[in-house]
């Protein structure tokens, strides 16, 4: 059997990641270094190192930033206290929060404002969930799995609402949400899913590719702390393929290719295409013929840049 590597599309950068990275790059170009960024602007080691090389300085707290400096807030969203601490240091805040994350923050504020307990389905230690929970810490309960969904208690079962982390697996959230709806018939939820379009589209594409091409190995380019990249690996494995998350070609163990004539290649929403191409080049040297889509994405979604850099 001839060996092939199928390039899955859509893959790589989503509109929110594009917006966040371009925000930092424009500030570096127009204002000069240093530009301070709270947390990783997006969850990708290559991107962070690249921007650091251009003069971005990544910090954990506003208190690390000299008073009066520029402070970019990452795509994952920040709790209200971060904005207050930035104001206390007279920092010029440039908010690179993904608009889809901002939507979830707004939902939490709205539900909490009506006195509801908000059940936030997500990973408690993820930057996005930490920021979202910060909108109403006394009213938000994080639910990480089905067991927690079965056990969670709320003060008033008649006034409870649902939000989710944007980068989760659709299948995982469906099971958790079904339990919450069964336990809390009055559960309020947003008109549209909180799972972002890019997360859903990339998962759907992996599912379809494994099914249609019978790919036995799916390589996902992305960093270990990237939730949506981790979910792509889970989706591929659920479809019956072996799958590994790699930051780049240096992480690829050639032994994974043994007896694997059909390989598929994709990337998480914060991984640049240049890393995909390096993996593809390596696979071609091993005799894999390239198939699939050369175009990473044609989703056509674009988010306006923050007003300070338009």
Closest CA to 269 of 78, 73, 75: 75
**Rounded to whole angstroms, what are the CA distances from 271 to 108, 117, 221, 245?**
29, 35, 7, 11
- Catalytic residue flag (residue 63): no
Choosing from 107, 128, 135, 144, the catalytic residue is: 128
The 3-state DSSP class for residue 155 equals coil
Closest CA to 60 of 75, 43, 73, 47: 73
CATH fold label, 4-13+197-292: Cobalt-precorrin-4 Transmethylase; domain 1 (3.40.1010)
- Any idea where the domains of the chain sit in the sequence? 4-13+197-292, 15-97, 100-195
CATH for 15-97 (3.40.50.980, 3.40.50.11270, 3.40.50.880, 3.40.50.300): 3.40.50.11270
Q: Do domains 4-13+197-292 and 15-97 have the same CATH topology?
A: no
pLDDT, tens digit only, all 310 positions of the chain: 689 999 999 999 999 999 999 999 999 999 999 999 999 999 999 999 999 999 999 999 999 999 999 999 999 999 999 999 999 999 999 999 999 999 999 999 999 999 999 999 999 999 999 999 999 999 999 999 999 999 999 999 999 999 999 999 888 899 999 999 999 999 999 988 899 999 999 999 999 999 999 999 999 999 999 999 999 999 999 999 999 999 999 999 999 999 999 999 999 999 999 999 999 999 999 999 999 999 999 999 999 999 999 8
Q: Does domain 100-195 have CATH number 3.30.565.10?
A: no
Q: How far apart are CA 159 and CA 119, in angstroms?
A: 11
Structure tokens at 121: 């389905």
């Amino acid at each position: 059997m001839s060996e092939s590597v199928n390039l899955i599309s859509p893959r790589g950068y989503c509109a929110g990641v594009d917006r966040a990275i371009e925000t930092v790059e424009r500030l570096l170009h127009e204002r000069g270094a240093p530009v301070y960024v709270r947390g990783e602007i997006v969850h990708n080691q290559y991107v962070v190192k690249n921007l650091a090389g251009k003069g971005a300085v990544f910090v954990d707290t506003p208190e690390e930033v000299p008073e009066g400096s520029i402070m970019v807030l990452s795509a994952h969203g920040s709790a209200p206290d971060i904005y207050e601490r930035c104001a206390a240091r007279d920092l010029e805040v440039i908010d690179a929060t993904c608009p889809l994350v901002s939507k979830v923050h707004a939902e939490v504020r709205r539900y909490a404002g009506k006195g509801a307990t908000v059940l936030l389905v997500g990973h408690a230690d993820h930057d996005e969930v930490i920021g979202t929970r910060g909108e109403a810490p006394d009213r938000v309960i994080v639910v990480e799995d089905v067991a927690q969904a079965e056990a969670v208690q709320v003060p008033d079962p008649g006034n409870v609402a649902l939000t989710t982390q944007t980068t989760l697996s659709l299948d995982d959230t469906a099971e958790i949400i079904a339990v919450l709806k069964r336990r809390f018939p009055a559960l309020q939820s947003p008109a549209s899913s909180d799972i972002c379009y890019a997360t859903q589209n990339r998962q759907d594409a992996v599912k379809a590719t494994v099914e249609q091409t019978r790919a036995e190995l799916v390589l996902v380019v992305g960093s270990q702390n990237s939730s949506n990249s981790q979910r792509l690996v889970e989706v591929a494995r659920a479809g019956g393929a072996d799958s590994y998350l790699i930051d780049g070609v240096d992480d690829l163990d050639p032994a994974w290719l043994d007896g694997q004539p059909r390989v598929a290649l994709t990337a998480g929403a914060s991984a640049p295409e240049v890393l995909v191409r390096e993996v593809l080049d390596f696979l071609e040297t091993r005799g894999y013929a390239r198939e699939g889509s050369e175009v990473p994405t044609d989703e056509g979604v674009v988010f306006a840049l923050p007003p300070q850099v338009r």
